[in-house]
Structure 1
Amino acid sequence: MNDQYRETEAGDRYARAAFGLALETKVLDKVNGDIATLKELLLSSAELRNFVTSLVYKSDVKLAGLLAVTKSAKLNTLTTNLLGVLAANGRLNQLFPVINAFNKLYAAHTGVVTADVTSAVALTDAQLDSLKTTLAQTLGQSAEINTRVDPALLGGLKVRVGSRLFDASLKTKLDSLKFALKRA
């Protein structure tokens, strides 16, 4: 996984502070929407992602650029202030860890678990709905699904929920069979 996406202690602290303030001021859903918007913008634009995480630009320049890009999103004041604090403290490079930590806090607060699903081919909407229903029944909680495609799996799925991994990929089954045949 790329370093800019990993969890950090600083990211956790900023996320907890923003989450607590959003909860206290009753703007949690709006700030969560803003966080989702920021994540989507950063994931969809490599240039913006590189700009925000770059060490070449000063924090005030990065903040001005980020706010210019997000202007049409009409971010909540708390979200804008979070970006300002990150910039003032030279921590805009921690934006991804802050976003990820905030998302985990929000999911825990709303009782939604996040499932990371890796498949050999892109899943259809019907398959995603079926998987979401199955996960909800199995876990007793609703699940938000993050998908990823990895052709190396050959077929099947890998589903990670928290520290649990369900591996029903064809690659793993073939590897197990290969190992069993070597031992025989």
Structure 2
Amino acid sequence: MENSGGIQASLSGRYATALFELARESNSLPQMEASLATVRQALDESADFKALTTSPLVARGAAAAAVAGVAKSLKLDSITAKFLGVLAENRRLSQLPAIIGAFRALAAAHRGEVTAQVASAHPLTADQVEALKQQLRTRIGRDVSVDLAVDPSLLGGLVVKIGSQMIDSSIKTRLNSLANAMKG
């Protein structure tokens, strides 16, 4: 892919690229994206699953068995389930969030979209996400997919990253700017 040069340079990027190519060749890209979104949500919501993916104390076999059980309970497609097993066997489960992010970027580029990483102090509603997408689409001139994260330290507002551009309208940054202006 033309936009994947930077992504392929990292370990997580190589795994994401391999998974993306497999999904594309098997015409299962939408299903793969849905499965990875489910995995990402499980990582965010389950402390046990997150601990499984980040703990170096879990043996390869135990991690592979646990991941197979998680894949079954989440009703993931067979390719994603096998991929998680490969990650467990290769002791790369800790790279899962980065792999999912790189996969989403590859899929978005394949669709001609730009991916925006958006951090907010509080979870955004569906209407807010759609309004944000529309504003970004107007500003950039391309369709935008949004990767949401919640960062309570922002206090309010948003931080949006698109490629090398960053739009920071957080209260935290405004307060820091005000503090610096008052110093001198």
TM-score surpassing 0.5? yes
Relative to structure 1, the CA distance from residue 148 to residue 21 in structure 2 (aligned partners, 3 Å threshold; closer, same or farther) is closer
In structure 2, the residue matched to 1:10 is 11
* Matched length: 177
2:173 maps to amino acid: T
Matched, 1:139 2:144: no
The alpha carbon displacement at 1:113 in A equals: 2.2
Take 1:174 and 1:88, find their aligned partners in 2: how far apart are those partners? 46
In structure 2, the residue matched to 1:116 is 117
The answer to whether the 8 A contact 2:67-2:85 is kept is no
The answer to whether the 8 A contact 2:67-2:88 is kept is no
Pairs within 5 Å for 1:97-176:
97-176=98-177
1:27 maps to amino acid: S
Deviation readout 1:42-65 (Å, 9 max, x if unpaired) = 221011111122111211211111
The answer to whether the 8 A contact 1:59-1:92 is kept is no
Take 1:140 and 1:121, find their aligned partners in 2: how far apart are those partners? 27
The alpha carbon displacement at 1:32 in A equals: 1.7
Give the TM-score, by structure 1 length: 0.80
Pairs within 5 Å for 1:4-43:
9-43=10-44
Task: Report the 3-state secondary structure (helix = DSSP H, G, I; strand = E; otherwise coil) of the residue aligned with 1:60.
Answer: helix
Identity of aligned residues (%): 42
Pairs within 5 Å for 1:15-94:
15-94=16-95
Deviation readout 1:58-81 (Å, 9 max, x if unpaired) = 112111111112214333232222
The answer to whether the 8 A contact 2:159-2:166 is kept is yes
Deviation readout 1:89-135 (Å, 9 max, x if unpaired) = 23233322222221221111122222222334444433322211111
Which piece of structure 1 moves more, 133-142 or 71-80?
71-80
Take 2:182 and 2:9, find their aligned partners in 1: how far apart are those partners? 43
The alpha carbon displacement at 1:82 in A equals: 1.4
Which piece of structure 1 moves more, 38-47 or 113-122?
113-122
Runs of 5+ in structure 2 lacking a partner?
Answer: 1-7
Which piece of structure 1 moves more, 37-46 or 73-82?
73-82
The answer to whether the 8 A contact 2:71-2:81 is kept is no
1:163 maps to amino acid: S
Runs of 5+ in structure 1 lacking a partner?
Answer: 1-6
Task: Report the 3-state secondary structure (helix = DSSP H, G, I; strand = E; otherwise coil) of the residue aligned with 1:145.
Answer: strand
Give the TM-score, by structure 2 length: 0.80
Considering only aligned residues, what root-mean-square deviation do their CA atoms show, in Å? 2.6
Relative to structure 1, the CA distance from residue 127 to residue 82 in structure 2 (aligned partners, 3 Å threshold; closer, same or farther) is closer
Task: Report the 3-state secondary structure (helix = DSSP H, G, I; strand = E; otherwise coil) of the residue aligned with 1:57.
Answer: coil
The structure having more radius of gyration, on CA atoms, is: 1
